[in-house]
Amino acid sequence: MKNILKLLSILTILVFVGFACEKGDTGATGPAGPAGADGENGINGTDGTAGCIQCHTSDENMMVKEAQWASSGHVTGTHMGGYYGSRDGCSDCHSSQGMQEVVATGEFDQPAPFNPLPANCYTCHQIHQTYSSDDWGFTVEGPVPFRVNDYLADMGNGNACVQCHQSRPASPVLDLATTDDVSITSSRYGPHHGPQGNMLAGVGNSGAYELDGTMSYANSMHAANPATTNCTSCHMASSEGTGGDMALGEHSNNVGVGEWEDESKIINRNGCIACHTTIADNDEMTAFVSTARDANMLLMEELGTALFNLGYITETGSVVASSSAPLVVSTQHAAAIYNYKFLEEDQSTLIHNPNYAKALINNSIEALQ
Ligand code: HEC
Ligand code: HEC
Ligand code: HEC
Ligand code: HEC
Ligand code: HEC
Ligand code: HEC
């Protein structure tokens, strides 16, 4: 008992000492140390809002481009942002953020953003990065890989366009070296809606299937030098002489406005006259395109009729195939179906690359005979 009391009192003392130690008074603050070395000079800022005003003015830089862009199919159409932009993978090309993600990561099939924006100034330009005119630089700076194979398309200023305006891989992928039967399981078999990049590239199997035949696959002048003649040189040509039409040329992205059916179509000749030197005005250019278009539509119809007669497509051009009732055909016939869809979806009635497109039609018809 005595020992326990002794132990307790020792413990009590130790506890007090502990408290006393913890509660010791803080010493007085020492003198301030010497000043540190000077930091590096900051980068000069732009004076006040001058840097902003070089762009945010009512002149050509912003307001005009915005008004033109408002007339572009990217804004007037119903397939940008919204439902299409909010689907994984579709958002790669149907939303601004999706495309930027593909460019940043180099990977296709990005998850969709929550609030998909239609394409806008930020999609193509490096807006608000340096707050200088460098911001007009492009988001897509170099060649663009094709989704259907490893081909790198370099179309100068048109590279941003080709990022989205290119084929999506279709199943089955065909091997023209064999004549094996293949099975098509979708009525939407084909390259999807915007294969213009592949059509312009016009190189061996980078887009359509180059079936053997009597016509050779020579590229037309429209496609021969994509650094100078590309999407932008025709679709974003100067709007001079268009009577102030904001929907034609430059940032409207339109090479033509109006409809062919009711003869209200007008083609902007400014991107054409370097080569088509004898065309005097937009009316003459429109008539020239119209004549070629009529002839080309007859050629496309020939291939369409051949496919229809074989029971491969419907009158409206859908492939007669589904997962429950696949269309089983030879590789060559499948290629002819694909080529037809490719030419239709390109939407230029062969004008993007006439010589190449005509060889595709001719040789596809031959392959079906
Ligand atoms: C290189 C040209 C450029 C410069 C320099 C620039 N801007 Fe912008 N700014 C743009 C463009 C292009 C847009 C997008 C307009 C559109 O979507 O129609 C924009 C949009 C905006 C918007 C609207 C919100 C948004 O992000 O879309 C604000 C606010 C803005 N800028 C403020 C500024 C300020 C402040 C400065 C200067 C510190 C500045 N900008 C400098 C080109 C520029
Ligand atoms: C972010 C992807 C993307 C980029 C970049 C892009 N486009 Fe498009 N483009 C589309 C989509 C998607 C549509 C369909 C829009 C709709 O129907 O709402 C379209 C529509 C169009 C149309 C109208 C088609 C029609 O049937 O009326 C033209 C012309 C066009 N684009 C040309 C261009 C050109 C030229 C460029 C480059 C300067 C370009 N596009 C860049 C995705 C893109
Ligand atoms: C590689 C880019 C790309 C991807 C990925 C993509 N699209 Fe498109 N899509 C386009 C372009 C470009 C157009 C506009 C083509 C034109 O007008 O010539 C378009 C047009 C469309 C149209 C309008 C067709 C018409 O006749 O007006 C629909 C519908 C569509 N896409 C649906 C989808 C769906 C659904 C997905 C995902 C399963 C998807 N797209 C994925 C590039 C793409
Ligand atoms: C689809 C891609 C695309 C979009 C979207 C786009 N631009 Fe452009 N922009 C271009 C291309 C390509 C050029 C080069 C002109 C040419 O090739 O004819 C250009 C050039 C310009 C220039 C001239 C740059 C310079 O160096 O002088 C300005 C200014 C400009 N764009 C402003 C805008 C504004 C503002 C918006 C939004 C309303 C916008 N752009 C949206 C593709 C685009
Ligand atoms: C040699 C000039 C030229 C070049 C290069 C060119 N286009 Fe076209 N494009 C045309 C003409 C002409 C039409 C038919 C216009 C019409 O019928 O109103 C057309 C039609 C289209 C259409 C169908 C919608 C429309 O406006 O009728 C789209 C989409 C398109 N082009 C996108 C592109 C893309 C993307 C590129 C680059 C890969 C490109 N084009 C390169 C001249 C050109
Ligand atoms: C780099 C020169 C060049 C430019 C730029 C050019 N073309 Fe052509 N175009 C040609 C040549 C050459 C042919 C004859 C076919 C060939 O050999 O390529 C042709 C053929 C055509 C054809 C006949 C197509 C057919 O199926 O027979 C049309 C229509 C046409 N061009 C329209 C245009 C339009 C519209 C533009 C501008 C938006 C344009 N071209 C820009 C050189 C050019």
Residue from 296, 276, 278 nearest 347 by CA: 296
Whether residue 144 contacts residue 164, with contact meaning beta carbons closer than 8 Å, is answered with no
Mean pLDDT of 205-234: 92
Q: State yes or no: pLDDT of 6 exceeds 60.
A: no
**What is the Cα–Cα distance from 358 to 340, expressed in whole angstroms?**
11
Tell me, rounded to whole angstroms, the distance of Cα 273 from its chain centroid. 27
Pocket test for ligand 1, best of 46, 127, 135 (most atoms within 8 A of CB): 127
What confidence category does residue 28 fall into, taking pLDDT thresholds of 50, 70 and 90? Answer: low
CB-based contacts of 243, cutoff 8 Å, min separation 6: none
**What is the Cα–Cα distance from 64 to 250, expressed in whole angstroms?**
10
Ligand 2 residue neighbourhood (C-beta within 6 Å): 73-74, 77-80, 93-94, 99, 119, 123, 160-161, 163-165, 231-232, 235-236, 253-254
Ligand 5 residue neighbourhood (C-beta within 6 Å): 158, 161-162, 165, 196-197, 200, 222, 229-231, 234-235, 254-256, 265, 289, 347-348, 351-352
Distance 250 CA to ligand 4 centre (A): 8
Mean pLDDT of 254-264: 96
Residue from 352, 340, 345, 348 nearest 211 by CA: 340
Residue nearest to atom 27 of ligand 4 (CA): 136
Handedness of CA 47, 51, 52, 53 (dihedral sign): positive
Task: Return left, alpha or beta for 87; rule: phi > 0 is left, psi -120 to 50 is alpha, else beta.
Answer: beta
Mean pLDDT score across all residues of the chain: 89
What confidence category does residue 103 fall into, taking pLDDT thresholds of 50, 70 and 90? Answer: very high
Distance 237 CA to ligand 1 centre (A): 25
What confidence category does residue 8 fall into, taking pLDDT thresholds of 50, 70 and 90? Answer: very low
pLDDT tens digits along 231-251? 999 999 999 998 889 999 999
Distance 128 CA to ligand 4 centre (A): 14
Residue nearest to atom 14 of ligand 4 (CA): 157
List the structure tokens of 252: 């409207």
Ligand 6 residue neighbourhood (C-beta within 6 Å): 220-222, 229, 234, 255, 267, 271-272, 274-276, 285, 288-289, 292, 296, 350-351, 354-355
pLDDT tens digits along 312-340? 999 999 999 999 999 999 999 999 999 99
Distance 292 CA to ligand 6 centre (A): 10
Task: Answer yes or no: is the C-beta of 136 below 6 A from any ligand 1 atom.
Answer: yes
Residue nearest to atom 22 of ligand 2 (CA): 73
**What is the Cα–Cα distance from 205 to 151, expressed in whole angstroms?**
10
Q: Interior CA angle at 305 toward 303 and 308, to 5°?
A: 110
**What is the Cα–Cα distance from 164 to 195, expressed in whole angstroms?**
9
Q: State yes or no: pLDDT of 60 exceeds 90.
A: no
**What is the Cα–Cα distance from 346 to 360, expressed in whole angstroms?**
13
Ligand 6, atom nearest to 349 Cα: 26
Whether residue 351 contacts residue 289, with contact meaning beta carbons closer than 8 Å, is answered with yes
